[in-house]
Amino acid sequence: LGQALIAIKNMVTGTTSACFEPALDYVVVKLPRWDLEKFHNVSRLIGSEMKSVGEVMSIGRTFEEAIQKSIRMLNNGRIGLVGNRDRFDDLEQALTHPTDNRLYAVASALDRGWSVDQIHGQTRITPWFIHKLNNIVGLGKKLSEFTLESIPEVLLREAKQKGFSDLQLSNLWNCSEEAVRDHRKTVGIVPAIKQIDTLAGEFPARTNYLYMTYSGAEDDVEFQPDSAVVVLGSGPYKIGSSVEFDWCCVNAVSTLKEMEYKTIMINCNPETVSTDYDICDRLYFEELTHERVMDIHDKEQPAGVIVSMGGQIPNNLALPLKRNGVTLLGTDPDDIDKAEDRHKFSALLDTLRIDQPRWEELTCLEDAEHFADTVGYPVLIRPSYVLSGAAMSTALNRDELRSYLERASEVNRDHPVVISKFITGAREIEMDAVGEKGELYCYAVSEHVENAGVHSGDATLVLPPQRTWLETMRRVKVITREIARALRITGPFNIQFIAKDNEVKVIECNLRASRSFPFVSKIYRINFIDAATRLIMGRKLPKIHRSSFDMDYVGVKAPQFSFTRLKGSDPILGVEMASTGEVACIGDDVYEAFLKSMLSVGFHVPKKGILLSTGTLEHKVQFLDALRELQDLGCRLYATPGTAGFMGRFDIPAETVHWPSDNQDPGALACMDQDKVDLVINIPKDDTPEELENDYRIRRHAIDRNIPLITNLRVASYFIRALARYTEDDLAIKAWDEYE
């Protein structure tokens, strides 16, 4: 502060001052990432209110190159602007009403022969952009007239300069991606590495920001083989993969630098710390695809690549990279494949005599119905790939199962669905751990507040567990050690369990860092990623003393949701993740930590009244003690007819409010409109259409009125117990190191 701009050195270029007009020789495209398909009833229209959950940034020498790269960076199944399976029944509607898919509607219109002026008239998009998109569509049509053997070299080079990937071209020519790669390398078509040069050659650039382009004749940097370690980043923030994985990547890079390794980061997310200029020795703002990682590997020839820090995107690249001669550090990719492949992992668990929920991979409706009838409803359904936008779901009966599979119209031998027995009333437990050549080095066991059925990313985590039996904890640790040895794990991994009546079953195992690694590292004050990185690099570490895991405090991680921005979406939790963020709080006991976490995500202590709709009779009985605590707190209670009647039997007073469909006063919606309540507890009852509609309208109205909403019985019980034990003034404000 207080200095003239000409006196401040530009930290990126290293040669100019801050008072310098940049001159660019590249094009940057920033593209949002939406996950609207994960929400029921949500409006897909986009406008002045933000709905995206993340973004990517691509760099190229042409707009065509940059836009196609950015589409692939989104990691939503599309391979570029053209060559996808997008279908628009009403193309004019898709153009005039902007949604998250309008870019692909424009491409579809161009493919069908619409003129630039026609599309401009429907969308008001500046014609320059439509012309550029038309260049890609037109080139795609021209390329489809050739084969890999007949394509002229000049046309292949143009395709790469316009951002066509090897996979895109292989689909056009009905050959393998590797065949395209081998052919273009044979004829000398390889990308050049360029610096992000804001000086456009006027001064020497000394930046470590790099990108690759086919519109360059030479590389801007020199290479030192076997001197660096590559860390693959996490890509765009999306539901299920956010800043937690970037924390892991940054900590891995920091540890590598402490160990005096040169570091290379590959990532495409401008929001992350990992893409800051001073984090690593070289930063590639590039796609996390097999093609691009191999391109960088061919140039850099690093000592090794770490895939276990950035979540599922780099983990999926492990086996293809190994098959192409890349040295991967940590757990062997073949062992990663044993955990990722459902059949191989299930067979491994059977060999180890470790229990798992019954499941089958099915290719037709009749077999699916037979399996569900055999194991009993409810069942969990997940596609082997994304079927027409359908996500993971539960079916409570045959009608729901049939409805789901009919929507996923491409269920066949090539595209099966996996159906497993859904165990009701079970507790979910998470194990985050670090392995060293198959032995357990350090671990953290967390329990979910919610019963199984809520996605682990939406669950409220408690560490250390407060309500899990010692025998269950012992079984979890024993099973973890057996799996770690069988898969010869070196590095971070996560296992999810369900437990009921002291029976423990394994749901899945991920041989990579998980969303909860930052949380457990901070609660235990043991940096799991630092330890994992050192072990991956072959360093020996002293054993962690058992007392390090004994704590006199409790940590709680709670999810943050964005339902207010997602108009029409049903704010209910299930097996498909919906949260867009999280908080973590510490307390002297679980209720203090839980209340702090709830207040941190926007809840507040109710002062006016609470609207209750508490589900089935079984739910009502389970919630009875919490209702009595509300009565003792002196809260004014409003309840839907069934809940009010149940409460009356136990002398708990509540004012009855009617369901929205009853059209009677006083109504539940009017109760919220009249500002009588500042907390809504709505526990879904059953799957009848009337119940579903009434519950949805109450939940959605609460969100639209900005009234805190709880839809899970166990979360509601915890919240009420916490309110009974603590006021806001009772919550201790302590520094992190004051907890021991």
Model pLDDT for residues 557-604, shown as the tens digit of each residue = 999 999 988 889 999 888 888 888 999 999 999 999 999 999 999 999
Least confident of 141-155, 504-518, 538-552: 538-552
pLDDT at 365: 82
Q: Counting every residue, how long is the chain? A: 740
Please enumerate in sequence order all residues whose Cβ is within 8 A of that of 492, keeping only pairs 6 or more positions apart, or say none.
Answer: 248, 308, 309, 432, 433, 434, 512, 513, 514, 517, 528, 529, 532
- Amino acid at position 124, single letter: R
Structure-token match 């006063």, residue found? 665
Is the pLDDT at 94 greater than 90, yes or no?
Answer: yes
Q: What is the mean pLDDT of residues 207-222?
A: 92
**Whether residue 305 is found in the same domain as residue 399:** no
What single-letter DSSP state applies at residue 52?
Answer: -
Share of the chain above pLDDT 90, in %: 73
Q: How many CB atoms lie within 10 A of CB 232?
A: 26
| pTM summary value | 0.92
pLDDT at 691: 84
> CA distances (Å), 476 to each of 431, 447, 508, 554, in order?
8, 11, 13, 20
Beta bridge partners of 361: 418
- Amino acid at position 463, single letter: L
pLDDT at 184: 96
Q: Strand 304-306 vs strand 228-232: parallel, antiparallel, or unpaired?
A: parallel
pLDDT at 149: 95
Evaluate whether residue 41 is within a structural domain.
Answer: yes
**Whether residue 39 is found in the same domain as residue 179:** yes
Cα–Cα distance measured from residue 653 to residue 671, given in angstroms and rounded to the nearest whole number: 17
Structural domain span for residue 692: 604-730
User: Residue 648 maps to which CATH number?
Assistant: 3.40.50.1380
pLDDT by residue (tens digit) across 666-693?
A: 999 999 999 999 999 999 887 677 888 9
Evaluate whether residue 596 is within a structural domain.
Answer: no
pLDDT at 343: 87
Structure tokens at 590: 């679980």
Q: What is the mean pLDDT of residues 475-496?
A: 97
**Whether residue 320 is found in the same domain as residue 362:** no
Evaluate whether residue 3 is within a structural domain.
Answer: no
**Whether residue 172 is found in the same domain as residue 60:** yes
Is residue 205 very low, low, confident or very high in pLDDT (cuts 50, 70, 90)? low
Picking from 151, 177, 192, the residue at the C-terminal end of a domain is: 192
Q: What is the mean pLDDT of residues 487-509?
A: 94
Contact 606, 630 (CB under 8 A): no
Average pLDDT over the chain reads 91
Taking the mean position of all CA atoms in its chain, how far away is CA 534? 26
Q: What is the mean pLDDT of residues 274-282?
A: 89
User: Residue 368 maps to which CATH number?
Assistant: 3.30.1490.20
Q: Which of 302, 357, 292 is nearest to 325 (CA)?
A: 302
pLDDT at 256: 97
Is the pLDDT at 202 greater than 80, yes or no?
Answer: no
Domain count, the chain: 5
What single-letter DSSP state applies at residue 191?
Answer: P
Q: In what order do the strands lie in the sheet with 679-683?
A: 655-656, 637-639, 610-614, 679-683, 709-710
**Whether residue 174 is found in the same domain as residue 44:** yes
Q: What is the mean pLDDT of residues 444-463?
A: 92
User: Residue 150 maps to which CATH number?
Assistant: 1.10.1030.10
Picking from 329, 347, 379, the residue at the C-terminal end of a domain is: 329
**Whether residue 616 is found in the same domain as residue 719:** yes
**DSSP string covering 609-678, please?**
-EEEEE-SHHHHHHTHHHHHHHHHHT--EEE-HHHHHHHHHTT---EE-B-GGG--SSBHHHHHHTT--S
User: Residue 296 maps to which CATH number?
Assistant: 3.40.50.20
Q: Strand 417-421 vs strand 359-362: parallel, antiparallel, or unpaired?
A: antiparallel
Picking from 329, 350, 367, the residue at the C-terminal end of a domain is: 329
**Whether residue 36 is found in the same domain as residue 178:** yes
pLDDT at 576: 82
pLDDT at 240: 79
**Whether residue 450 is found in the same domain as residue 413:** no
pLDDT at 97: 95
**DSSP string covering 555-576, please?**
EEEEEE--GGGSTT------SS
**Whether residue 484 is found in the same domain as residue 447:** yes
Evaluate whether residue 719 is within a structural domain.
Answer: yes
Q: How far apart are the first and last CA of the chain?
A: 40
Least confident of 286-290, 468-472, 589-593: 468-472
Please enumerate in sequence order all residues whose Cβ is within 8 A of that of 576, keeping only pairs 6 or more positions apart, or say none.
Answer: 38, 391, 392, 393, 455
pLDDT by residue (tens digit) across 728-737?
A: 999 989 998 8
User: Residue 483 maps to which CATH number?
Assistant: 3.30.470.20
Is the pLDDT at 385 greater than 70, yes or no?
Answer: no
**Whether residue 409 is found in the same domain as residue 287:** no
Beta bridge partners of 380: 394, 420
Evaluate whether residue 334 is within a structural domain.
Answer: no
Is the pLDDT at 478 greater than 60, yes or no?
Answer: yes
Residue 404: Cβ-neighbour burial (10 angstroms; 0-12, 13-18, 19+): buried
pLDDT by residue (tens digit) across 516-564?
A: 999 999 999 999 999 999 999 999 999 887 655 678 899 999 999 999 8
Q: What is the mean pLDDT of residues 142-150?
A: 96
Residue 688: Cβ-neighbour burial (10 angstroms; 0-12, 13-18, 19+): exposed
Evaluate whether residue 10 is within a structural domain.
Answer: no
**Whether residue 449 is found in the same domain as residue 402:** no
Evaluate whether residue 14 is within a structural domain.
Answer: no
Cα–Cα distance measured from residue 721 to residue 717, given in angstroms and rounded to the nearest whole number: 6
pLDDT at 415: 67
Q: What is the mean pLDDT of residues 328-345?
A: 93
Is the pLDDT at 424 greater than 80, yes or no?
Answer: yes
pLDDT at 387: 32
Evaluate whether residue 346 is within a structural domain.
Answer: no
**Whether residue 177 is found in the same domain as residue 280:** no
